[in-house]
Amino acid sequence: AMAAQGQDLMASGNTTVKATFGKDSSVVKWVVLAEVLVGAVMYMMTKNVKFLAGFAIISVFIAVGMAVVGL
């Protein structure tokens, strides 16, 4: 059987996605800022160091995830 030939209809949006969610985008900066603020507030409320460690873990998870998907 012959393989179907097709066109990637989403290819034109790659630059928009990378600009919006890429490594140097403002979305990533705001997400990291929110992580820091929430982690700090939760630590102050509970005095549990796990909330501060959670910031580092989530930051690494986001960086690895973006590298996997090519952002």
Please tell me the predicted confidence (pLDDT) of residue 71: 72
Total domains present in the chain: 1
d(CA 4, CA 54): 46
Q: Are the beta carbons of 43 and 51 closer than 8 angstroms?
A: yes
Please tell me the predicted confidence (pLDDT) of residue 3: 63
* pLDDT 10s digits, 11-62: 888 888 888 888 788 888 898 899 889 888 999 999 988 888 888 888 888 8
Please tell me the predicted confidence (pLDDT) of residue 45: 93
11 within domain boundaries: no
- List all residues 6 or more positions away from 71 whose beta carbon is below 8 Å from its beta carbon: 17, 18, 21, 22, 23
pTM comes to 0.63
d(CA 10, CA 26): 23
4 within domain boundaries: no
Please tell me the predicted confidence (pLDDT) of residue 67: 86
48 within domain boundaries: yes
Grade residue 2 by pLDDT with cuts at 50, 70 and 90. low
12 within domain boundaries: no
